[in-house]
Structure formats: structure tokens, C-alpha cells
Amino acid sequence: MAERLGAPGAAGYAAAALVKLDRPEQAIEAFEGSGATSPGRAPLLDYYHALACYEARLYVRADRLLAGVGARSGPRIAGQAARVRADIAKALAAEPGRDVVDWYVARCDALAAGDRPVLARAFCEEALAVAGRRADRHGAAEARERLSRLRPVAQGGP
């Protein structure tokens, strides 16, 4: 509605409101759905996007977004982004288990079956990223195969 009324950045603010309402998956869909502003334009919205990914347990994705926030935001947001990144680094320090990759792939499948392609893609990309942190790359082929089947999102995504 807001977009139709001529406010191109409205989706980002609506998505940020969803983050505050503790609905991270819906927020990710709003941040990354078709017509959403690409990351990198508004550091504050990127921070909220990263929080949504964090709450949805898409930690690699959140870390990637937060990496771009730090230098372009104010000192307070930059400090918070650094703290969150440090927490994520601790969680990702050890090699993730096979169960972790399987969980992301299963979540991707469930979301794809539920006709939520934006979220499904996010979870499959996370599965691929997490699988890349394993020596045996367990689950990477499955995640890649699923990503190839999901239709690409028009705009958005880190």
C-alpha cells in the first residue's frame, strides 16, 4: 500500500516494525521480498534486517549484514553491531554439526512447501554457508540443489 502511494522505502520501515513485534521471519520476507530496498542503502534498516536474521537463527546472514553496518552508522549502532558480531563469531567458532546443516535444509524444504520462497531461499543459503564451515561440506550439495529449484527473488537479500 505504502509502495503504491509513492514511498519506496516504506517496506523497510514496515519490516523494522515486524522485528520489534518479534516476528522475524515475516520481517525477513518484508526486507528481502520483491520490491524491497537492497541492503546497503540504509544502515539502520540493515541493522534491523540483521536482527531479524539473528532471531530466525540465520547467523551467517546476520553477520554479513552487520559487517556492512558498522562503518556507515552512528557510534551506538556500530557498537551494538560489533557486540552481536562477536557473539555470532563465538557461536560459529567450532565446526557446526551435521545436525545443524540438516536443520537448515529441512527448514528450507518446509518453507518451500509452504510457498514462502523468500524465506526458503534464506534458509537454503544459510545451510550452504554453514555446510561450507564443515570439512566434509555435509549438506552443501543438497542446499545447492534446492537453491537451484527455488525461483530467484526479484530484489533484496544480502
- Asked if 106 and 114 touch (Cβ cutoff 8 Å), the reply is no
What does the alpha-carbon distance between residue 34 and residue 114 come to, in Å, rounded to a whole number? 18
Binders of another protein among residues 38 to 57 (CB under 8 A) are 42, 44-45, 47-48, 51, 54-55, 57
Least distance in angstroms from the C-beta of 152 to another protein: 22
The answer to the question of residue 16 lying near another protein (CB under 8 A) is yes
What contacts 134, CB < 8 A, 6 or more positions away?
A: 95, 96, 98, 101
Q: What is the largest CA-CA distance in the chain?
A: 50
Q: Kindly list the residues in this chain that would bind another protein in the complex (CB under 8 A).
A: 2, 5-10, 13-14, 16-17, 20-21, 42, 44-45, 47-48, 51, 54-55, 57, 59, 74, 76-77, 80, 83-84, 87-88, 90-92, 96-97, 99-100, 102-104, 106-107, 130
